[in-house]
Structure 1
Amino acid sequence: MQSGTLSIVIAMHNEADNVDAVMDEAVAAFSAAFEGFNIIAIEDGSSDETWSKIEAAAQRHPQITAIQHPNRAGKSAALRTGFLAARTLWVATMDGDGQDDPQSVVDMASRIDLTSLDAPALVCGCRTNRTDGANRKWASKIGNGIRRAMLRDACPDTACGLKVIPRDLFLALPFFDSLHRYLPPLTRYLGFDQIYVDVVNRARISGETKYTNIGRAFAGFFDLMGVNWLMRRTHVPAKELLFTPRDEG
């Protein structure tokens, strides 16, 4: 069992049929792996029964904190809400559609010390067996190539929902709607080390993906332009200053 505590933020939108399986599996996996943990489940303006399912899961499992967005704000905003609610040094993110194996979070967290902020500052999951259709795989391959060329990003799967990152570092990054997709290049630009861990990607059992290839392409183009501009216009002190201890008095 790993010492230290970890918060795991799970954003959900219209995932009513997946909530029970995702939450029950996650609690079981994390209870066996971590000295302490808290799952922060964010319901992001769903039109189905996702919120009531999350509330019921929180009643079954005291390790779950349930938070609701009254209107849909997007995945990055939901993650930000979860990070603001977290009280641990490190926070993990995973998707709420059942495709992420919580054991992958355990494997990723084992690569760091949850009780300190030593390097690396970002652990990225990389899906080696993607279950998406061929069209999405090719779209991702092309998009990853363009992103790597423009942002000098070495991460092979920046869109994977599995990440482990210090709470304060995530909240120090400039916020925008697709922030969760650009954590690797932004943290690397700021001088932080990162490592990549192979993770399991499972087929979606129920529900539908929230993205289309065309939608990704249009949003991705403008996001790339924006992130490139942010990186060129962002100058911060030495990375150690991001973690200056706060005065508790």
Structure 2
Amino acid sequence: MPANSSDPSVSVVVPVRNEAENIAPLVAEIVRALEGQWPFEIVYVNDGSNDGTAAELARLKAQYPFLRQMRHQASCGQSVAVRTGVAAARGGIVVTLDGDGQNDPAFLPAMIRALEAGGPRMGLIAGQRVGRKDTGFKKFQSRIANAVRGAVLRDGTRDTGCGLKAFRRDVFLALPAFDGLHRFLPALVRREGCDIGYVDVVDRPRAHGVSNYGMWDRLWVGILDLAGVWWLIRRRKRIPVVSEE
């Protein structure tokens, strides 16, 4: 099953902003993880980068014809970048990972197989990080955020911030679109009546650059998003099963 199939079954979506140095090694790792198992494509979403990201992706496309670049002229944020990639994806199964190299593509096959094994009702496989390589302060922030989110939404997920996720494209595109969506996927996928599975993944240290999607700049927006998602779940109407007699 060649990676450059015109009809891929798996689309790998990678949102990036100013990650030029991390692109080539990550693409090579994705190829090693998936080649020979599924027809796949890699969709990078360049979220308004002002470094050499665009040029590096253009250079690599000559080596990897299944590599695509979707480009935002200005940065729109991680959730918008993910949605751009999913909308452009040609595969029925989409897997996402962060573009900084901290998510290990070696875990992608296990996540895809778990999604396939779950059948049509399985809407999402969420990576759950162990051995995180972030600073102690950032890990503390994440623990607080996950605890608050879990208490309010009761989504049964200990770590929604992990970029490694596998889901069905049609399920994702049926979700309401808003900035911050990627942090609430488990709760919203459950809202659609789908099942969720989990795979433990090992975090890695960042090799190059610095984080471009910080926490404090989204803290208050995240609180409002949490309230909005809670409202959406509470207001979900039961869809009747109708039969003609």
Normalization by structure 2: what TM-score?
0.90
Residue 150 of structure 1, CA deviation? 0.7
- 2:25 matches 1:24: no
Report what 1:48 is aligned to.
51
Q: Distance in 1 between matches of 2:239 and 2:48?
A: 37
Going from structure 1 to structure 2, the CA distance change for 1:196 and 1:176 (only over 3 Å counts) comes to: same
Q: Distance in 1 between matches of 2:86 and 2:119?
A: 16
Report what 1:70 is aligned to.
73
3-state secondary structure, aligned to 2:208: coil
Q: Distance in 2 between matches of 1:189 and 1:228?
A: 10
Residue 65 of structure 1, CA deviation? 1.3
3-state secondary structure, aligned to 1:80: helix
Structure 1: unaligned runs, 5 residues or longer: 240-249
Which of 231, 234, 238 is 1:232 aligned to? Answer: 234
Report what 1:243 is aligned to.
none
Task: Indicate if the aligned counterparts of 2:124 and 2:196 stay in contact, CA closer than 8 A.
Answer: yes
Report what 1:148 is aligned to.
150
Task: Indicate if the aligned counterparts of 2:130 and 2:200 stay in contact, CA closer than 8 A.
Answer: yes
Within a 5 Å distance, the mapping from 1:130-149 to structure 2 comes to: 130-149=132-151
Runs of 4+ deviating beyond 3 Å: none
Q: Distance in 1 between matches of 2:166 and 2:75?
A: 24
Q: Distance in 2 between matches of 1:90 and 1:211?
A: 25
3-state secondary structure, aligned to 1:121: strand
Q: Distance in 2 between matches of 1:183 and 1:54?
A: 28
Report what 1:14 is aligned to.
18
Residue 91 of structure 1, CA deviation? 0.6
3-state secondary structure, aligned to 2:223: helix
Residue 213 of structure 1, CA deviation? 4.0
Task: Indicate if the aligned counterparts of 1:9 and 1:92 stay in contact, CA closer than 8 A.
Answer: yes
Going from structure 1 to structure 2, the CA distance change for 1:237 and 1:57 (only over 3 Å counts) comes to: farther
Task: Indicate if the aligned counterparts of 1:10 and 1:42 stay in contact, CA closer than 8 A.
Answer: yes
Q: Distance in 2 between matches of 1:81 and 1:238?
A: 32
Q: Distance in 2 between matches of 1:216 and 1:206?
A: 23
Task: Indicate if the aligned counterparts of 1:18 and 1:206 stay in contact, CA closer than 8 A.
Answer: yes
Normalization by structure 1: what TM-score?
0.88
Residue 236 of structure 1, CA deviation? 6.0
Structure 2: unaligned runs, 5 residues or longer: 2-7
Task: Indicate if the aligned counterparts of 2:33 and 2:106 stay in contact, CA closer than 8 A.
Answer: yes
Which of 205, 229, 244 is 1:203 aligned to? Answer: 205
Going from structure 1 to structure 2, the CA distance change for 1:238 and 1:178 (only over 3 Å counts) comes to: farther
Which of 214, 217, 221 is 2:216 aligned to? Answer: 214
Which of 78, 99, 103 is 2:102 aligned to? Answer: 99
Task: Indicate if the aligned counterparts of 2:78 and 2:213 stay in contact, CA closer than 8 A.
Answer: no
3-state secondary structure, aligned to 2:9: strand
3-state secondary structure, aligned to 2:49: coil
Residue 233 of structure 1, CA deviation? 2.9
Task: Indicate if the aligned counterparts of 1:27 and 1:61 stay in contact, CA closer than 8 A.
Answer: no
3-state secondary structure, aligned to 1:35: coil
CA RMSD in angstroms comes to 2.0
Between stretches 95-104 and 222-231, larger displacement belongs to: 222-231
